[in-house]
């Protein structure tokens, strides 16, 4: 098992070496980059928005119920919701969801390209398939996942506010002040740092599994599942490591 892990890790780094090979033609890569933004990022906005609003709402309800004491001001509920969303829910949970949606898309797309010989076609043309197919996806994720996460944070806070208001759980004026009380901007930096690392994991791990598919349609499905499992483990592990490094 250790041998298999080390072998896989070694092949992953060799794959990264191929990915970061100097691009043959920047213009073609940039065209591909804009396509990937549309395919991987814009198509995820609706899902991220939906999850974020309800995540914020649930967090407010749970916190309000748990802190349901007349001596605890509603601003404390808002602070708890804010920290929960910014520190953990937006970067980690949304990244896990993106790992499922975007990651499986990347793995199955590249896997299908592998088994239908499209990658061989690129190689015969003299185009490095790893670099041409993966680099635009990686840059799209690295640049736009943090933007999606900021968007998720904002919608989570909005969802929390409206849930508290509509259900009559909080005094909205006091609650709103809580969003701005003792705000530490470093928490956003921490959160975005995590997102950046998670985006790298999502783009490269899923690409690695898709790129190395051997066989047919069944193997493409297996690779997609394996990639989501590996990404989820990696995100949880790096979440712990980065939290330990950045917040201690």
Partner 1 sequence: MIRVQGLQKSFGEQHVLRGIDVDFHEGQCNLIIGLSGSGKTVFLKSILGLHATDEGSISFDGRILGEMSKKEVKALRQEMGMVFQGSALFNSMTIEDNVRLPLDFFSQMTPEEKAERVRFCLDRVRIAPEAFTKTPAELSGGMQKRVAIARAIVLNPKYLFCDEPNSGLDPETAIVIDQLIHEITHEFGMTTVINTHDMNSVLEIGDHVVLLEKGKKAWEGTMDQVLQSDDSAVVDYVFRSNLFKKVRAALKNV
Give the contact letters, 129-168, x = binds to partner 1 (CB under 8 A), - = no: ----------------------------------------
CA distance 31 to 23: 13
Q: Which of residues 117 and 184 has its CB atom nearest to partner 1 in the complex?
A: 117
Q: Does 11 bind partner 1 (CB under 8 A)?
A: no
Q: Which secondary-structure segment (H or E) carries 10? A: helix 2-19
26 phi-psi bin (left φ>0, alpha ψ -120 to 50, beta other)? alpha
Q: Which residues contact 141 (CB under 8 A, 6 or more apart)?
A: 40, 41, 102, 199, 200, 202, 203
Piece of 10-18, 49-57, 76-84, 121-129 that binds partner 1 (CB under 8 A): 121-129
CB of 212 to partner 1, least distance (A): 15
- 121 or 245, CB closer to partner 1? 121
Smallest distance, partner 1 to C-beta of residue 122, A: 9
With CB under 8 A as the contact rule, which of the stretches 122-130, 135-143, 151-159, 170-178 interacts with partner 1? 122-130
- Candidates 118, 172, 212, 225: give the one binding partner 1 (CB under 8 A): 118
Closer to partner 1 at the Cβ: 118 or 171? Answer: 118
- Kindly give the residue spans of alpha helices, DSSP state H, lying in 67-128: 74-83, 94-98, 104-115, 118-125
Let me know: does 136 contact 36? Beta carbons within 8 Å. Answer: yes
Radius of gyration of the chain (CA): 21
Binding residue for partner 1, selected from 17, 18, 25, 186, defined by CB under 8 A: 25
Q: Give the whole-angstrom CA distance, residue 51 versus residue 59.
A: 12
Judged by CB under 8 A, the residue of 18, 117, 181, 184 near partner 1 is: 117
Alpha-carbon gap, residue 149 to 185, rounded angstroms: 15
Q: Can you tell me the distance from the alpha carbon of 166 to that of 16, in angstroms, rounded to the nearest whole number?
A: 49
Answer for which of 27, 46, 168, 185 binds partner 1 (CB under 8 A) is 27
């Amino acid at each position: 098992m250790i041998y298999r892990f080390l072998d896989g890790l070694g092949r992953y780094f060799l794959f990264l070496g191929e990915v970061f090979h100097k691009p043959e033609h920047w213009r073609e890569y940039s065209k591909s980059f804009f396509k990937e933004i549309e395919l991987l990022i814009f198509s995820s906005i609706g899902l991220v928005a939906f999850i974020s609003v309800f995540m914020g709402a649930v967090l407010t309800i749970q916190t309000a119920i748990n802190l349901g004491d007349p001596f605890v001001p509603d601003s404390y509920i808002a602070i708890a919701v804010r920290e929960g969303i910014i520190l953990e829910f937006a970067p980690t949970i949304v990244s896990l969801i993106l790992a499922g949606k975007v990651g499986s898309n990347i793995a199955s797309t590249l896997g299908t390209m592998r088994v239908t010989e499209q990658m061989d076609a690129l190689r015969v043309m003299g185009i490095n398939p790893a670099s041409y197919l993966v680099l635009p996806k990686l840059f799209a994720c690295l640049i736009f996942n943090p933007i999606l996460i900021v968007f998720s944070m904002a919608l989570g806070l909005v969802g929390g506010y409206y849930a508290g208001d509509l259900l009559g759980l909080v005094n909205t004026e006091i609650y709103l002040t809580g969003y701005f009380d003792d705000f530490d901007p470093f928490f956003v930096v921490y959160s975005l740092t995590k997102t950046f690392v998670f985006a790298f994991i999502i783009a490269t791990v899923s690409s690695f599994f898709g790129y190395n598919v051997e066989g047919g349609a069944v193997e493409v499905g297996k690779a997609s599942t394996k990639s989501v499992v590996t990404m989820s483990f990696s995100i949880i592990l790096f979440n712990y490591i980065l939290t330990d490094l950045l917040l201690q």
